[in-house]
Amino acid sequence: MQIFYGKAALMDYLSTLKTTNSSIGFVPTMGALHEGHQSLMLQSTKENDITVVSIFVNPTQFNNPEDLEKYPRTLDADIIKISNINPNIIAFAPTVHDMYEGKTLSQPFDFDGLENKMEGKFRPGHFDGVGTIVKRLFEIVKPTRAYFGEKDFQQVQIIKKMVEKNHLQVTIVVCPIHREINNLAMSSRNERLTLHEREEAGIIYKILNGAKAKFSNNSAEKTTQWVKNQFKKNKIFTLEYFEIADEKTLTTCKRKSKNKKYRAFIAVFVNNIRLIDTISLN
């Protein structure tokens, strides 16, 4: 399996591999790979001649220094997982210095307001960091298709907006959420939960499903209040936000409209570990 630690070497290698017609699938990740990441890689290998997976814990998208410091880093295990999926996958694990050339700063982006809602509101600067790194990675890998998970739905909308605004020649492919047996959305941060917290965290999806049922014959406001009440009763999890929003614009649903698609978004804390999830309400 090929693994590159620097962008120049990867770019050289890809330029020798890329014949005029060969397609490149790209899966950006922050490592600590799980089955959710693996499903993105599998889809990419099915749809492209070449697949590149990046493993890079991007400092500029973390607003909380403790979250950055404690983010799991398991490169050796990740490489084994990637080669087990397909030994032809190319891994890219650059250093912070290689990606940021001594200036670990993000550039400001205008995503037409998408960046100010939910994750953007609670994690200031997060989407500038995401935009900066994804744009840089796209410039290095020059993918035909890039694979992102629906779990980070707002991130997907942001990336699509960046592609549209910058006229980038890449197709964004959105992949379904992979869940643990208790329906907790898979996440690298789950590694930091105790066994008990991880088992109990199934409640997040249960409440999301409950909200979906409520929303079918109640207003967004009533549904949101119901969710807040569920978390008030819970001793382990603290609700950061719950929002029902228009899938396209991510604006909060005030009054239901028949021709709009809605989605619920949630962020909760357990013992300083932040978990997010989402569900379609249509």
Residues that bind ligand AMP (CB under 6 A): 29-30, 36-37, 39-40, 148-149, 151-152, 175, 177-178, 185-188
Q: Which is nearer to ligand AMP, 138 or 220 (CB)?
A: 138
- Which residue positions form the known binding site for beta-alanine? 61
Q: How far apart are CA 173 and CA 163, in angstroms?
A: 12
Smallest gap from residue 94 Cβ to ligand AMP (A): 15
Side chain identity at residue 193, one-letter code: L
Q: Which stretches of 14-156 are assigned E, i.e. beta strand?
A: 24-29, 50-55, 90-92, 145-149
Q: How far is the CB of 257 from ligand AMP (least distance, A)?
A: 28
- In whole angstroms, how close is the CB of 222 to ligand AMP at the nearest point? 29
Q: Which is nearer to ligand AMP, 26 or 262 (CB)?
A: 26
Annotated binding site for (R)-pantoate: 61, 155
Q: Residue 278 in contact with residue 263, Cβ under 8 Å?
A: yes
The order of strands in the sheet holding 50-55 is 3-4, 90-92, 50-55, 24-29, 145-149, 171-175
Nearer to ligand AMP, 74 or 225 (CB): 74
Q: How many CB atoms lie within 10 A of CB 107?
A: 11
Q: List for the chain the helix, strand, coil content (%; round to 5).
A: 45, 20, 35
Question: Residues forming the annotated binding site for ATP?
Answer: 30-37, 149-152, 186-189
Q: Residues within the annotated binding site?
A: 30-37, 61, 149-152, 155, 186-189
CB of 242 to ligand AMP, least distance (A): 19
d(CA 173, CA 160): 10
Q: Closer to ligand AMP at the Cβ: 15 or 181?
A: 181
- Of the two residues 148 and 231, which places its CB atom closer to ligand AMP in the complex? 148
167 catalytic? Reply is: no
- Minimum CB–partner distance for residue 188 and ligand AMP (Å): 5
- The sign of the torsion formed by the CA atoms of 13, 5, 127, 261 equals positive
Query: CA torsion, points 143, 157, 36, 122, in degrees to nearest 10?
Result: 130
Instruction: Give the residue numbers annotated as catalytic, written as ranges.
Output: 37
